[in-house]
Amino acid sequence: MENKSLTYRDAGVDVDEGARAVELMKQHVKSTFTKNVLCELGGFGGLFELDLTGYKKPVLVSGTDGVGTKLKLAFLMDKHSTVGQDCVAMCVNDILCQGAKPLFFLDYLATGKLQSQKIAAIVKGISDGCLQAGCALIGGETAEMPGFYSDGEYDMAGFAVGMVDKENIIDGSQIKEGDILVGLPSSGIHSNGYSLVRKLFFDKLSLSVDHFMEELGCTLGEALLTPTRIYVDVCSKVMERFKIKGMVHITGGGFYENIPRIIPKGLGVEIVLGSWDVLPIFEIMQKLGNIETDEMFKTFNMGIGMIMVLSPHEATEALRYLQGLGEKAYEIGSVVNKSNGVTLCR
């Protein structure tokens, strides 16, 4: 028997394909660079110079998240250019809730067999998200792990860092009875609840991603893969002009778990059903799945991806301002003097 020398490629890791992936993604990564980035792609660490102009007591705010089982849709459709934006959105929308301006982002990609074109498509989505958020993609890791992930599958996580002046941190502590909840529309399901989504559409109803749905005006797969909206631009404009007391990114846990995270003890909120346009995808799911309203609000964003809490006067002015920007925004409820978390009202 020939005693052939063993290589890393024999073990399932293709270093050359990894190098090709880096070359393909370079243009996308560099498109996010700001004047603060002091490094090139491929260094051991990302360098970002802080500009503290206008900050009295700068505070760094960080957040990390992934895309979850929404990635299964990308695998089914073999479309990988949008889930990167989901990853960015889940991180930057979270740190935005404390008033932070996103500065930079890092990603982690892990796959069983590295395919350079697919990785480049994913990174393009990440870069698109960073451009929307106004932050730089300054580093990341692509891990090829044969035998760990199924063929054609991958996982992804991200990490964002932003900055806010200490006196401008938004923490909900000033929220009081009578304050108004202003909701901003979501682009769709965003990146939460996909285990239930897949259970309903693919297991219970046996539909395919190519199934065209007239109510949506597109295929089921296209609707489900719609990327998470990034709220940095619009919320930053509101923060510059109005006193936002609290902000809520409606992610896993829906309304019931996320809103109480910023509401002071002894207070609750009442959400007025019918005060905004619920997206058709949620109405379809509730009807076809015979899902209780409470379960829907406990799992999904129901068409509202970000909530701002303002005083009544500020809320009125902010809604008028947002309308002037061409932005849909809704008064969806108020803060009440009850320790009962979130109540749905009609």
Rounded CA gap, 8 and 17, in Å? 12
Rounded CA gap, 44 and 144, in Å? 18
Rounded CA gap, 308 and 296, in Å? 21
Q: What pLDDT shows up at residue 276?
A: 97
Rounded CA gap, 279 and 186, in Å? 8
CATH architecture of 9-168: 2-Layer Sandwich (3.30)
Rounded CA gap, 254 and 293, in Å? 12
Q: Quick one: angle between helices 232-241 and 116-133, nearest 10?
A: 10
Helix (H) or strand (E) holding 268: strand 268-272
Cα 143 to chain centroid, rounded: 23
Query: Tokens in use for 21?
Result: 């992936």
Indicate the pTM of the whole model: 0.94
CATH architecture of 180-345: Alpha-Beta Complex (3.90)
| 13 Cβ contact list (under 8 Å, min separation 6) | 114, 144, 146
Place 1 in a pLDDT band, splitting at 50, 70 and 90. low
Place 236 in a pLDDT band, splitting at 50, 70 and 90. very high
Helix (H, G, I), strand (E, B) or coil at 229: coil
Mind listing the pLDDT tens digit for each residue in 15-57?
A: 888 888 888 888 999 999 999 999 888 788 999 999 999 999 9
Rounded CA gap, 140 and 159, in Å? 9
Query: Where exactly are the structural domains of the chain?
Result: 9-168, 180-345
Helix (H) or strand (E) holding 345: strand 342-345
Task: Judge contact between 288 and 196, C-beta under 8 A.
Answer: no
> How many C-beta neighbours within 10 Å does residue 132 have?
19
Tell which residue, 30, 65, 35, has the closest CA to residue 50.
35
Average pLDDT of 125-139? 97
Residue 54 per-residue DSSP state: T
